Amino acid sequence: MAVIDFSYADDVVLITRSKFLNTFSELLQSALKVVSVWTETNGLGVNATKTELVLFTNRHRSLNSQTVPNTCE
């Protein structure tokens, strides 16, 4: 499993996939940490109010609201 990133100017998209929500969360958290370190090193920042998490699933069940740690300013 991997994280794919697409970026253009000041927009970044991270894409990952996993069969398990906890694995997905760990992958995404790791990718967010890399982005955070890179932006801080380069004098940039991530605007939490413009950050979105979109979860696609083929399971027909409702998911509780998920929070991703360390993503709020």
Q: 1: closest CA among 15, 12, 13?
A: 15
pLDDT tens digits along 4-58? 877 777 788 888 888 887 888 888 888 888 888 888 898 988 888 888 888 787 7
The pTM is what? 0.65
Q: How many of the other CB atoms lie within 10 Å of CB of 6? A: 9
pLDDT band of residue 73 (cuts 50, 70, 90) is very low
Q: Are the C-beta atoms of residues 32 and 68 closer than 8 Å to each other?
A: yes
Angle (CA) 68 23 16, round 5°: 75
Query: In the structure encoding, which two tokens stand for residue 29, read together?
Result: 């958290």
Q: How many of the other CB atoms lie within 10 Å of CB of 52? A: 5
